[in-house]
Structure 1
Amino acid sequence: MTPSSTLSTPRALARLLPFARPVLPRLILGAVSALAASIVALMIPLVLEGVVGGPIASGDPGQILWGAIAVLALGLAEAILVWARRWFVLAPSTHIEYELRTGFYRRLQRLPVSFHDRWQSGQLLSRMMQDISLIRRWLAFGLILLVVNVLTIAIGTVLLFQWHWLLGVIFLIFSAPLWYAGFHFEKQYGTLARQSQDQAGDLATSVEESVHGIRVLKAFGRGGHALAKFTRQAETLRQTELRKARAIGQIWFWLVLLPEIAFAFCLGAGIVLASLGELSVAQLFAFFAMATVLRWPMESIGFLFSFMLDARTATDRIYEVFDEENTIVDPAAPKTIPTARGRLVFEDAHFRYQDAPETQRDLLDGVDLALEPGETMALVGLTGSGKTTLTTLPARLYDVTGGRVTLDGVDVRDLTLEELRTHVAMAFEDATLFSASVRENVLLGRDDLDPTSPEGERVMREALTIAQAGFVDELPRGVDTVIGEEGLSLSGGQRQRLALARAVAARPAVLVLDDPLSALDVDTEALVEEALRRVLAETTALIIAHRPSTVALADRVALMEHGRVTAVGTHSELMRTSDHYRYVISSLDSDDADAAHEGVAS
């Protein structure tokens, strides 16, 4: 697909056509109304010529009245047509904005995690809100007026020649440099517009990071540091906006100056022609009336041209997201697993990031591991051994770059993402909650349930009990309490328990847990582990264990070193046979290690 940045401005903006096609008839009617309004405005000087050359010259009051009525009628018709233009385009432009915004959000949801790893959230937010709103305003106002005003200038210039060719030539000569100035303006302003919108995205990212990290900034007294960074970015954006304003000021200078010079020369030439009898006073009056009507379209070209370039840049920016390749998609001929048993197998699984140097080894370098239905497997290893990366593969947050991962003998890439993610659920160490009610957060993975139904209530309560999340009943509105953004109004342990409840409520065949109990106190952790044992007895589970107490939940333990599984067995077996396993366990809390050893041995 051709990148927008390599396209001409008309072709880049034409990419919006699929979104505009359903409402194109109304947009065209709006443009026709605007053009008709301009034609009516151009007719007024022709009527004035007749009035000045006839009734005014003869002094007939009755004819002057009819001339005034004709001008009034034309003015009223122009006003009605301008209103019609706004009526035709208002609803369609908001429809296009809606379709663009929902399509953009849908695309963000479908793009893989690797895309979101690379992109700043502020950049995406500025595209979603500012750029799409700018496109809507341009379609409703800028595009139509640009096309209509250019046509008005062309028609009006032709009409100027009807009074005298010399006056038309003078006006045309002084108008020609405007097109050269516009071409030069496009090259300069286009670059500045892109810089400005990208810098606005960076600024949005800084605001978002500061708001989300406000506790850290306050705790370390780094508010001033954050403000200084924000100020530098805001100043950079301000300077870019000033350069944009200077560029616009320069084009406006020529747009105002040249017509004034043209008027002066035309006035001089007109007086000479009138004195020679080649031009009547009525014709000279009508000529200047026509030139006055053309003045606004000519002056508006600079503003509308800059508006178009802003819209082109906004279109480029949103299509950078639309054009991103989605590497994690549904298969062309998907398979199904009617009733998942939960046998999860990694077969020579490799993974490396796309931009990783060729000399760098794979993060996962040939993992072979099999989890039987209903088995709980703990993953242990030192930091950087590949544990977390391995847990992202069953649900296809990332895809293997070599080998495969199978669920009940079916390659996970052969299942639709919707089906796969009903069989595999995850709970992360860094629990993310949404600004919604507790009920909605816990039942997020259960599209098959009405959250307010008796069955939905039962599933939610069961999950909350397993996660020891009874604290929700003490919230102001219980399970209907809307928790704050990202759940920051709750403690870390409370967020982890709700995230765990969400994973349990999904009733998956495979449950992947990335150290989901790290923020819990010892007593609460013990209660959660006891409840989890009942759940895990029927569910295949892959658990990253950062504390030996978590190992007590597992039937078997897999030891990871340098992206490979180097040993698999029970805790007791690995303690006897693996020096590295003993080293990993000993590097954890010794009291927890003893508790885990005693728990597994018993």
Structure 2
Amino acid sequence: MLSWFERRLDPYPPGDPTQPPKGLLAFCLHYSHGAKRWLFLMALLAAAIAAGEIILFGFVGDIVDWLANADRETFLATEGWKLGLMGLFLLLVMPTLVFLSSAIMHQTLLGNFPQRIRWMAHRYLIRQSMTYFQDEFAGRIATKLMQTSLAVREVVMKLLDMVVYVVVYFTGAVILAASSDWRLALPFIVWVGAYATVMWYFIPRLGRISQAQADARSTMTGRIVDSYTNIATVKLFSHSSREESYSKEAMEGFLDTVYRQMRMITWFYLAVHTLNALLLFAVGAIGIWSWLGGAMTPGAIAVSLGLVMRFQGMSQWVMWEMSSLFENIGTVRDGINSISLPRVVADEKDAKPLGEVEGDIRFEKVGFHYGSEKGVIEGLDLHVRPGEKIGLVGRSGAGKSTIVNLLLRFYDRESGAIRVDGIDIATVKQDSLRANIGVVTQDTSLLHRSVRENIAYGRPDATDEEVIAAARLAEAHDFIMELADAQGRRGYDAHVGERGVKLSGGQRQRIAIARVLLKNAPILVLDEATSALDSEVEAAIQGQLNMLMENKTVIAIAHRLSTIAAMDRLVVLDKGRVIEQGTHAELLEQGGAYARLWNRQSGGFIDMDAAEEAAE
């Protein structure tokens, strides 16, 4: 039965994720889409349960009066049917309402609702632009995602469950007290007004503190995660103490918000307790005074004092719930600032998949500045024919990596156009564009998963045989078979650690090459692809890279010019412009910028043949 309720709300809704709105209410409504009918039903049941409890309180007062005045001989004959109906209400109707409310709250909403929010927000964030992740701690983003999903659930459910229940209960209590004697309703009305004033004063202040606390918590977590992620650098520079200070600064900022919150709560608690004491005194005094004057029955006094005691417990509960509500509102507001951001690079509404391409690439008067006034790429014209292999050459900052980033649409060009097979890449879906491009970078990052999963990331539907074949081509199979992790997994099942930390730089690079071999995209980008390899391994892999480059359009970047000298064409860049291009031999003959770079590099290496001849 309970599993039926668990299946009422899909925790993984389909559909393309969209940017959530900035406003608090709109943000919560955006992530409540699909769950609204269950939230409404939960609120309706909360109101019904509150009304039912007030009915029971009123009936208790009637019983007290009946017992005080009724004849024992005729009591059941005159009042028995009322007792029977109330018994059915108490034993059948109320448990049914409570069961439905609990099942919807706990089975349908509490688990599925935040998971649904996490899923929707994660799908939006994972499609965010590269600049978004470059400007934030990964740990901070993850923390805000988790905090915000739970906070949205708490805000929406508390407003629709707790607030509805309290409003109905307090209103019903005042009406019940007034039905016994209008004078008894006065203390309740005054108390509700005073209680609302206390809440109005304290709760928003607690909310602002909570927003600051959520941000401080995210910063604290982000700094700690940053230290752990870069633990090798921390240890290499012997900066454990410095990292402690860096983390402590964030921890102290977080603790300061905790102290401020606790001070506010102490005064809040004292104010509510004082109001409750005054309500009990006022209702008791009015009740006894009216009874002495014969204007009130014992049942009315019993009901009123019972309601006061219930109010005392409920007011403490409401205080903490409202405090938690505004704490979560602060967390949601903080999360909005990180989640509800537009994508710097976004697909057009009518963007279509690129499909398979031949690999004709054109940069037409492309300009890009990384948002600064000084140009990185200015008026770039470059044509790479299908199947052509070019090498990009130039000093650091010449624009080589920027050209690759623009081709991959990690950034959008600011002027001009970039076309693949004549199609402007700004008009196609980013995923379809990148599906046609295989990339091996200098800074290889592996997923904290098995070797098999990392290689198959290039083509998830690949068989084990295809994965192993790619590893063999990348000269990686032998060392993979010797791998083992702390859980005893071996070979292709061994996990490589966060970012591949358990492997050497050369091992990570060979797995990355195997991944691209398996992907077999028509366009290949090699960005310092063999920089992490020693000369022997590089020589062994170079032949496989040559095979990989066959029938592909290749753009290669290398500071070590010998690795790209055999390319069909070398393009020399300076300040984002093409200043020379041609084959290795042609550029050396010209004696220009490339020749100077080549002579500077080759001058630093010994000509082994010449040395051997001299030794003879």
Is the pair's TM-score, using the shorter chain for normalization, greater than 0.5?
yes
TM-score (norm 1): 0.88
Find 1:45's aligned residue among 57, 60, 76. Answer: 57
Find 2:389's aligned residue among 376, 401, 417. Answer: 376
Structure 1 counterpart of 2:37: 25
> Alpha-carbon deviation of 1:142?
6.2
CA separation in 2, counterparts of 1:336 and 1:57?
84
Matched to 1:200, the amino acid is: R
**Are residues 1:219 and 2:241 paired?**
no
> Alpha-carbon deviation of 1:205?
1.0
Find 1:182's aligned residue among 163, 175, 199. Answer: 199
The 5-angstrom pairing of residues 520-559 of structure 1 reads 520-559=533-572
Does the 8 Å CA contact 2:39/2:160 hold for their aligned counterparts? no
Does the 8 Å CA contact 2:20/2:30 hold for their aligned counterparts? no
Relative to structure 1, the CA distance from residue 339 to residue 199 in structure 2 (aligned partners, 3 Å threshold; closer, same or farther) is closer
Q: What secondary structure does 1:160 align onto?
A: helix
Does the 8 Å CA contact 2:58/2:176 hold for their aligned counterparts? no
Q: What secondary structure does 2:530 align onto?
A: coil
Does the 8 Å CA contact 1:149/1:298 hold for their aligned counterparts? no
Q: What secondary structure does 1:485 align onto?
A: coil
Structure 1 counterpart of 2:148: 131
Relative to structure 1, the CA distance from residue 63 to residue 25 in structure 2 (aligned partners, 3 Å threshold; closer, same or farther) is farther
Matched to 1:36, the amino acid is: A
Relative to structure 1, the CA distance from residue 331 to residue 89 in structure 2 (aligned partners, 3 Å threshold; closer, same or farther) is same
> Alpha-carbon deviation of 1:110?
1.5
Question: How many residues align structurally?
Answer: 580
Matched to 1:289, the amino acid is: G
Relative to structure 1, the CA distance from residue 97 to residue 486 in structure 2 (aligned partners, 3 Å threshold; closer, same or farther) is same
**Are residues 1:501 and 2:521 paired?**
no
Matched to 1:520, the amino acid is: L
> Alpha-carbon deviation of 1:535?
2.1
Does the 8 Å CA contact 1:104/1:318 hold for their aligned counterparts? no
Q: What secondary structure does 2:407 align onto?
A: coil
Consecutive unaligned residues in structure 1, runs of 5 or more: 596-602
Structure 2 counterpart of 1:488: 501
TM-score (norm 2): 0.86
> Alpha-carbon deviation of 1:182?
1.9
RMSD: 2.9
Find 2:130's aligned residue among 110, 113, 121. Answer: 113
Find 1:294's aligned residue among 299, 311, 330. Answer: 311
Does the 8 Å CA contact 2:42/2:160 hold for their aligned counterparts? no
Q: What secondary structure does 1:349 align onto?
A: strand
The 5-angstrom pairing of residues 194-209 of structure 1 reads 194-209=211-226
Q: 409-418 or 223-232, which moves further after superposition?
A: 409-418
Does the 8 Å CA contact 1:483/1:489 hold for their aligned counterparts? yes
> Alpha-carbon deviation of 1:401?
0.9
Find 1:441's aligned residue among 442, 451, 454. Answer: 454
Q: What secondary structure does 1:379 align onto?
A: strand
Find 1:159's aligned residue among 168, 176, 185. Answer: 176
Structure 2 counterpart of 1:414: 427
Matched to 2:190, the amino acid is: I
Structure 2 counterpart of 1:91: 107
CA separation in 1, counterparts of 2:581 and 2:19?
49
The 5-angstrom pairing of residues 343-492 of structure 1 reads 343-354=360-371, 356=372, 360-447=373-460, 449-452=461-464, 457-458=465-466, 460-470=467-477, 471-476=479-484, 477-492=490-505
Does the 8 Å CA contact 1:435/1:484 hold for their aligned counterparts? yes
Structure 1 counterpart of 2:611: none
**Are residues 1:101 and 2:114 paired?**
no
> Alpha-carbon deviation of 1:333?
4.5
**Are residues 1:280 and 2:294 paired?**
no
> Alpha-carbon deviation of 1:57?
4.9
Does the 8 Å CA contact 2:204/2:326 hold for their aligned counterparts? no
CA separation in 2, counterparts of 1:388 and 1:527?
26
Q: What secondary structure does 1:104 align onto?
A: helix
> Aligned residues: percent identity?
24
Relative to structure 1, the CA distance from residue 406 to residue 578 in structure 2 (aligned partners, 3 Å threshold; closer, same or farther) is farther
Find 2:525's aligned residue among 505, 508, 512. Answer: 512
Matched to 2:516, the amino acid is: A
CA separation in 1, counterparts of 2:417 and 2:469?
34
Relative to structure 1, the CA distance from residue 512 to residue 75 in structure 2 (aligned partners, 3 Å threshold; closer, same or farther) is same
CA separation in 2, counterparts of 1:342 and 1:387?
19
> Alpha-carbon deviation of 1:106?
0.8
Structure 2 counterpart of 1:168: 185
CA separation in 2, counterparts of 1:552 and 1:61?
113
> Alpha-carbon deviation of 1:2?
11
Q: What secondary structure does 2:100 align onto?
A: helix
> Alpha-carbon deviation of 1:74?
6.4
CA separation in 1, counterparts of 2:356 and 2:31?
41
CA separation in 1, counterparts of 2:502 and 2:205?
48
Cα deviation, 1:543-580, whole Å, max 9, x if unaligned, reads: 11111222234222111212222111122322332543
Does the 8 Å CA contact 1:375/1:537 hold for their aligned counterparts? no
CA separation in 1, counterparts of 2:512 and 2:74?
85
CA separation in 1, counterparts of 2:384 and 2:437?
13
Structure 2 counterpart of 1:585: 598
Q: What secondary structure does 1:162 align onto?
A: helix
Find 1:570's aligned residue among 559, 583, 587. Answer: 583
Q: What secondary structure does 2:401 align onto?
A: helix
CA separation in 2, counterparts of 1:593 and 1:313?
65
Relative to structure 1, the CA distance from residue 62 to residue 135 in structure 2 (aligned partners, 3 Å threshold; closer, same or farther) is farther
Does the 8 Å CA contact 2:51/2:168 hold for their aligned counterparts? no
Does the 8 Å CA contact 1:376/1:553 hold for their aligned counterparts? no
Q: What secondary structure does 1:342 align onto?
A: coil
CA separation in 1, counterparts of 2:567 and 2:19?
51
**Are residues 1:341 and 2:358 paired?**
yes
Structure 2 counterpart of 1:598: none
Q: What secondary structure does 2:363 align onto?
A: strand
> Alpha-carbon deviation of 1:221?
1.7
Relative to structure 1, the CA distance from residue 557 to residue 407 in structure 2 (aligned partners, 3 Å threshold; closer, same or farther) is same
Cα deviation, 1:46-83, whole Å, max 9, x if unaligned, reads: 22222222214558499599799998876656565434
Q: What secondary structure does 2:525 align onto?
A: strand
Does the 8 Å CA contact 1:330/1:416 hold for their aligned counterparts? yes
Relative to structure 1, the CA distance from residue 592 to residue 340 in structure 2 (aligned partners, 3 Å threshold; closer, same or farther) is farther
Consecutive unaligned residues in structure 2, runs of 5 or more: 1-17, 485-489, 609-616
Q: 104-113 or 39-48, which moves further after superposition?
A: 39-48
Q: What secondary structure does 1:486 align onto?
A: coil
> Alpha-carbon deviation of 1:378?
1.3
